[in-house]
A and B are shown apart, each in its own frame.
Chain A
Amino acid sequence: MSQESARSPHRRSTGLWVLIVLILIPPVVIPLWVPLYDKTDPTLWGFPFFYWFQFLLILCSAILTVIAYLLSLVADRKDRGADR
């Protein structure tokens, strides 16, 4: 398959990219796992669980995406170093 060669020629960062993808899996999977949070209790500041949990998910996935971004900077630096 062509993407093999697309990824490999200059890449030292494959391990890091695996880590980045792993970090990005929960923000995709957990919001879609509806039975996990589709309930009223426990409430928080008057918010049913259904609502406050999803707000919390926004925060958590934003944090994970920031981490993924920082790791991608490291990965890019590694790759560029490999070319010089």
Chain B
Amino acid sequence: MIEAKGLTKVYGEKTAVGGVSFTVQAGRVTGFLGPNGAGKSTTMRMIMGLDTPTAGSVTVNGEPFAKHVAPLREIGALLDAKAVHTSRTAYNHLLAMAATHSIPKSRVREVIEMTGLGEVAKKKVKGFSLGMGQRLGIAAALLGDPQTIILDEPVNGLDPEGVVWVRNLVKYLASEGRTVFLSSHLMSEMALTADHLIVIGRGKIIADAPIAEIITGKGQARTRVRTDQPERLMQLLAGTGVSVEVQERELLEVSGLDPRGIARTALDNQVMVYELTPLQASLEEAYMELTKDEVEYHSHITTGASVPVQAGGK
């Protein structure tokens, strides 16, 4: 279990993490989602005792990380795929880390096999692809068979097979009762992997809830309605908290009222409805909704760039 209380990190003028409090529970995959520069990595470095918080505290299984008797056996972390001296071989890198805790060579070989690095283990890390670097980082995180696993952007640079492998691995680790804390800026990946989601934007926690709740709760549930009397139905539905959008001539999108309520209104007023479809907001939409005010770097599409696209479309 990871517990952060009022965790703050200020670099000069800039507040990277502004007093966040959250709890990461054991036995499930907790996703840490936020745009680039939101404070995910800084938070994770503070958990690992690499950065000292400006204020607040964070504990792992009840104690600050540095206070643990055998840190590598308590928490394994992939903070950065490049936390390796690239002139050393993967095997020797893991061997040196293992030596600090008297972890046997057999375990080093085990994590190498587990992460599929068998063929390149005796090669210098210099020649590794980003994906292989990620696998080496995950191998290092698993070395001490820790109860708590922290992975910062583990699927970055992995091929599709690797992405699926990480997804299954973290789910398996959580099913063994371990605490798994996983960061990403890819909402689609989180939707498939995480059970619980902590969303961060500009150093503040925006949401902390089970993933299902975030999808349904934040993204407004909408209903697609087809009717041959759209104007009349719009008048009938117009009321407190209900908004109706005209999509096509006979197609409306209603939010603020569930399908049953819409059907009841239509039936009571003899309006024929020939489609009623509940629309589930995707996590992606929910995420955009959540972080739209918190994104640090907005992309701006120039009008010039969009002209050829339109021309091509027609």
Q: Do A and B assemble together?
A: no
Instruction: Give B contacts to A, CB under 8 Å.
Output: none
Instruction: Give A contacts to B, CB under 8 Å.
Output: none
